[in-house]
Amino acid sequence: MTKTKNMGLLNHQIKFPIDSLEEPVSTFEENYIRHLKGHLSGYEPNINMVKVDVSAHLNRAVIRAKKYLDTSRISISQRVKGAFTFYSYPDYFQFILNQIIENGIIYYDQRKTNSFLDIELNIEKEKLFIDVIDNGIGVPKEHIPNIFTCYFRLSHKSKGFGIGLALVKQFVEEMNGSIYFDSAFQVGSHLKIQLPNMFHL
């Protein structure tokens, strides 16, 4: 895996100065960005393949998101199915979960009173399937092909730096997985990821 390239891009995302943003960030966003900067100071990922506790990683991602982002208006549901043992790269796996869950929370639709984020992980013998469904602001069809492009944002008012999903796609592909995104503007989005169970490779 190209660890140096990945971590350089990741550090650029996190260490981008807060005061350089065109729009003011919220208290939640500011706290979250500062947390990520501190977390990545001198950080090197564990790129060894090991047995992964899928439920623990999912719980950690949800708890982390609730701590640093406003989830008071979003109903979050999470499920892990399947009894197979899953082997993968734990730090990359955790990063993927963190980003896709946080992305679903950040882009919820403030006009809706029934906002939800549904996360399901299904462990099968040879693959792990991740499904994330929300009824957030969605993405217009013409912009879906660009959703994994580095620095892509729908507008200058969009939250974030437009790099999280690009990294997710890169990590997924380096793990020999696949990723699919579908969305309808002002309706919601569906993100699907398949990761191979390294135990069987």
Q: Which residue has the higher pLDDT, 151 or 176?
A: 176
d(CA 188, CA 104): 9
Domain ranges across the chain: 3-200
* Domain 3-200 fold: Heat Shock Protein 90 (3.30.565)
Q: Which pLDDT tens digit goes with each residue over 25-66?
A: 445 455 555 555 554 455 455 567 899 999 999 999 999 999
pLDDT band at 19 (very low <50, low <70, confident <90, very high): very low
Tell me the C-alpha to C-alpha distance, in Å, between residue 127 and each of 81, 153, 176: 12, 31, 11
Q: Highest mean pLDDT range out of 7-16, 37-46, 80-89?
A: 80-89
Query: pTM, whole model, 2 decimals?
Result: 0.78
Over residues 170-193, mean pLDDT:
95
d(CA 134, CA 158): 18
- Name the E strands within 94-184: 116-123, 127-134, 178-184
The torsion defined by the Cα of 47, 49, 52 and 58, in degrees rounded to 10, comes to: 30
Residues 171 and 57 sit within 8 Å (Cβ to Cβ): no
pLDDT band at 12 (very low <50, low <70, confident <90, very high): very low
pLDDT band at 167 (very low <50, low <70, confident <90, very high): confident
With residue 15 as reference, give the H or E element that holds it. helix 3-15
As beta bridge partners, residue 181 has 191
